[in-house]
Structures are given as structure tokens and as C-alpha cells.
Structure 1
Amino acid sequence: MTTQREKAIRLRELHQGPRILALPNVWDCAGARLVEEAGFSVVATASASMSWSLGYPDGQSLPREEMLFMVRRIAATAQVPVTVDIEAGYGANSVSEVIKTAQGVLDAGAVGINLEDGDGDGGLTDIAFQSEKIIALRALGEFAGIPIVINARTDVFHAGILEPDEQFPEAVRRLNAYRAAGADCLFAPFVTDAPMISALVRDLHGPLNILAMPGMPSLCELEAMGVRRVSTGPALFLAAATTARRMAEHLREDGVCRTAGPGSIIYPEMNRLMMRVTEL
């Protein structure tokens, strides 16, 4: 039986290469089992996907208790390490609230978190304050004996926050500060340009995580460039929602219940994957 501490250590090790850590972000137990069955070594959640699945818009609208309930189910279902997108930690203005959220994540059985520096009002949290949160999170992991893996995200590249010529230097400044505070990985979403990604790899003092988006280099190319982690964000949820909408439209328009196409998962297979869940 792999302990929670061992899972945390393994998750941290996976950021050191040589292979890139690809994360198809999920939102429930079914997604966790499908990702694990497909051979991925980590299960990661997406905050937007989890919020939508429970009837909330993205943007820390999902109550912390409901988020942690889902994390507990996912972590109990998966045998591999689980890392959780906690957005701004449910405490944009409070270190203690971020620690409360992270403690809940550890209690639920997960071993990693994604913490962003957006302030919820279209701006960015003060670097020193964000670093204070990361220092406190590092201390929490040490106290708990579980070296929680901290993926520090900056929203510098989010449209409208900064002018284009300000984005790169500010991203480097922020992410290196977060690394110095104790972050294990540095997340710069919304970057697809290869020269920009290469420059981030060069100037950052820790493993770089980017968001999978149309137009970005392939995983093999990113790996060769030195990127260590790639997340899909809400892409899997949006793909599933698109398929569901198309099938519903077909049923309404021509009265035919069509499958999702070749390779569709069938009832017995899905039920088999969930046997581990029902045995909890």
C-alpha cells in the first residue's frame, strides 16, 4: 500500500523529468478512473470542470466543502497521486483560509495543489502576500509529514490584466518569487508561443507548467524545450459537454439515439471501472 507521503514524494519527482508530466484534468471519480486506466501517473482536477459539474460557474463559486467532498471521493478512488486546483485557496485575503483549504485537501487524501495569484477582481495579488501563502503551505506540509506539492500559478498572461510587453518580465518576477517561497512547480497558463515558452524555461528557477491550448507546440516539442508539466484545464469537460449536446440535438431532431462514435465506452466497461468506488 502506497502511503500519502510516498505519493507526495512521487508527484514531486515526476516534475524532474526526463519525461514531461501530462495531466488530463478531471472533475469526478469516473474521470479519475478513466485517466488512471489510460496509464497516466497522476490524477489532477480542474476547478472550472468541478464547478460546472456541481452547478456553479467557475471563479471560486464552488463552496469549499463541496469541492473537498469531491476531492475525497477522487483520492479514495485513484491509486496514483492526486493534485487539486484550489483556485486562490478560498482565501485571497487570508493566509489562514488558504491553509484551511490545503489542510482539507490533505485530509481528503490528495497530495498536491494548484494555487493562483489572481485576486478575483481582475487583478493580481501582491507578490509578497502570495509568497507568504506559499511559505505557510510549505510549513503545513512539513508539519503534516506530507510534502504537499505546490504548483504556483500566475495569471499574468490572462487577457486584460497587463499590457503585452509587461507580461513576460512580470511573470518571471512573480514565479521566481514563488519558487523562492517554496513552490515546487511554476504555472504560466495562456502561453502558446514557442519562443516565449523557451524564454520562460530559460529564466525561471523551477519546473515550468503550461496549459494545453490550440496552437502550442506538441508534447514532444515541449519536452525537448524543457517544459516539465502540461495541464489540459477544462478541455476534457468541454469535450464531454460538446458530445452530450450533439447527442441530445440528434435525439430531438431526428429521434435517433446515436453513440459518441467508434471506441465509445459501453455500460459494462464503465461499471467495471467504478467497482473500486463502490467498495470504498
Structure 2
Amino acid sequence: MNFRDRHTSGGPLVLPNAWDAASARIIEQSGAEAIATTSAGVAWSLGVPDGDRLAVDDAVDAVARIVRAVDLPVTADIESGYGDTADTVKKVVDVGVVGINIEDGATAQVQRIADARAAGGNVFVNARIDTFLQGVGGVDETVERARRYLDAGADGIFVPGVVDPDIIRELVSRISAPLNIMVWAGAPSVAELAELGVRRISVGPAITTAAYSLVRDAATEILRAGTYDRTVTTLTNGDLNSAFAH
């Protein structure tokens, strides 16, 4: 599958985000066409808060393990570039990624995207716009940022925090690039987003937080109630071992 071309052909590219080698391999076996990382999930798995707190080499090492674990294209969330965006992009491209997400920053984002474009060769640059996520602007501001980011070299636009169908429809009509929407429980279905013209769908840290919620709930049950019902799962040790026998 050509990762770049997949954004403009067929139905939406659906990306259940991974945070380590095991989650990536399970997502691959579930039928995904590509693997996208969640920077929040990667940071938490390494014992660091989300928000550009992770050392660049730790982030790159985590992405490299995911790339080695799967036979699918991998796109990496590099937060706001971990300092030197061009250097970070070169590092993740060297370990095999075909796409990157760059988080928003209204004043610095244009330069980061330009740096990523120059350093990344044919890597797909997905530029995040946080107007709706942070409640700092509406459709017009989002479209204006998208224009600037596309002019700087972005290939796709990622607008997390918006699930209203009317707003999504307007964004699709006014942004001249594949639109990525982040979903969660209660958001429009994949089929509904496809009807609106969304080209890429991801879940951010939603699967990571669901997995860690199970850890907390199972541990609490064992420690407080002395029972083990929360440890009943659909995956076995054998399933997980065989996942890495490819």
C-alpha cells in the first residue's frame, strides 16, 4: 500500500493508534492498513507525561521498535518536533517511517513544517491544527492555518477536537488537502465521516487510555475485592507470543 496515495483513493484511511510494539502488532493483525503512533501513549509507556517531555532519542527508539514489529507503513506523531524538527524528521525517516504528525503552534508551525518538508523527502506531513481542540478559533481560523501550513509543505491537515458533522463538512469543502479527524466514543461512525468527505480517521490516545483503564480496574478489583473478573480477556499468552512469530 502506497501510504501517500491511500489518502486520496478508496475509503477513509482508518488508523487505530499504537504506542508500543505489541499494540502495533495487535492493530496490524486486526486488519489495519497502516500504523499511526500516539505521542501521548508512547510518552506514558516510557514513564513521561505527554507534551514534549520525551527525549528525542527515546521517542525515535520507540518508533523504531514499532516499525520493526509490523509489516505495514508507519506514521509517527513527533509532537512539536522534539526541539530540532529537521533532525527529528531525519531520525524517524531513517528508522523507516513514511509519515509524520506535527502538533500545532500558531507562530512556529509554519517553520516546523517547512523544516520537516525539507528534511523528510517524500514523507507524508500531516499538520495538526488545534483551534477546536483548544477552543481558540473556529472554521475561518482553521482554514487560514491550513492554507499557511499547506503552503509550507504539509500534505494533509489534522483537526482534532471537532466531531460536528456540519463543521466537518465545511472544513472538507474549504481545505484543499486530505482531512484527518480524531474520533472517540460517541463520535460519528467511519461510514458517516466517509460520507462527509473525511480522508483519514484516527483515535489519538483513546485505545491507550482504554488499555490503562483496564489495568487500573483489574488491579483495584484484585487488591480491594480479591476477585479477578477484570482479567478475563479475549487474548491469551499464546496469542501474544504468536503475534511476534512472524
Q: Classify the TM-score, shorter chain.
A: over 0.9
How much has 1:43 moved relative to structure 2?
0.7
Aligned residues with identical type, % of pairs: 39
User: What is residue 105 of structure 1 aligned with on the other side?
Assistant: 92
Q: Give the secondary structure class of the aligned counterpart of 1:158.
A: helix
Q: Which residue of 2 aligns with 1:59?
A: 51
Report the counterpart of residue 152 of structure 1 in structure 2.
Answer: 127
Deviation at 1:231, TM superposition (A): 0.8
Question: Are residue 132 (structure 1) and residue 102 (structure 2) matched?
Answer: no
Correspondence list, 1:41-56, <5 A: 41-56=33-48
CA distance in 2, matches of 1:256, 1:222: 41
Conserved 8 A contact 1:247-1:259: yes
Aligned to 1:274: 244
AA partner of residue 223 (structure 1): A
User: Where does residue 236 of structure 1 map in the other structure?
Assistant: 207
Report how far residue 13 of structure 1 moved: 1.1
Contact 1:68/1:105 (8 A) holds in 2:
yes
The residue that corresponds to 1:33 in the other structure is 25
CA distance in 1, matches of 2:239, 2:115: 43
Normalising by structure 2, what TM-score? 0.95
Secondary structure of 2:145's match? Answer: helix
CA distance in structure 1 between the partners assigned to 2:29 and 2:231 by the alignment: 20
Residue 35 of structure 1 and its aligned partner are, at CA, apart by: 0.7
How far off its partner does 1:174 sit?
Answer: 0.5
Task: Write the mapping of 1:183-262 to structure 2, written as runs, cut at 5 A.
Answer: 183-261=154-232
Deviations 1:147-170 (Å, cap 9, x if unpaired)?
10100001111235x2xxx42111
The one-letter code of the counterpart of 1:174 is: R
CA–CA distance in 2 between the matches of 1:49 and 1:138?
Answer: 25
Residue 131 of structure 2 aligns to a residue in which SS? coil
Kept after mapping to 2: 8 A contact 1:212/1:232: yes
Q: TM-score, normalised by structure 1?
A: 0.84
Tell me, yes or no, if the aligned pair for 1:192 and 1:215 is still in contact at 8 Å: no
**Do the aligned residues in 1 keep the contact of 2:16 with 2:203 (CA within 8 Å)?**
yes
Which residue of 88, 97, 102 maps to 1:115? 102
Q: Which amino acid aligns with 1:134?
A: I
> Is 1:42–1:80's contact at 8 Å kept on the other side of the alignment?
yes
Alignment of structure 1 residues 17-28 onto 2, 5 Å: 17-28=9-20
1:192–1:213 CA contact under 8 A, matched in 2: no
Cα deviation, residue 20, structure 1: 0.6
**What amino acid maps onto 1:226 in structure 2?**
G
What secondary structure sits across from 1:157 in the alignment? helix
Counterpart mapping for 1:2-13 below 5 A: 10-13=2-5
Over the residues paired in the alignment, what is the CA RMSD in angstroms? 1.5
Provide structure 2 residue ranges, at least 5 long, that are not aligned to the other structure: none
Q: How many Å apart are 1:141 and its aligned residue? A: 3.0
* Secondary structure of 1:151's aligned partner: strand
Long gaps (5+) in structure 1:
1-6, 92-96, 119-124
Match of 2:79 in 1: 87
Post-superposition CA distance 1:206-246 (Å, at most 9, x none): 00001103442111011011000011000011110111111
- Give 1:139 shift: 2.4
Structure 1 distance, partners of 2:97, 2:75, is 6
Count residues in correspondence.
246
Q: Is the 8 A contact 2:214 2:230 kept in 1?
A: no
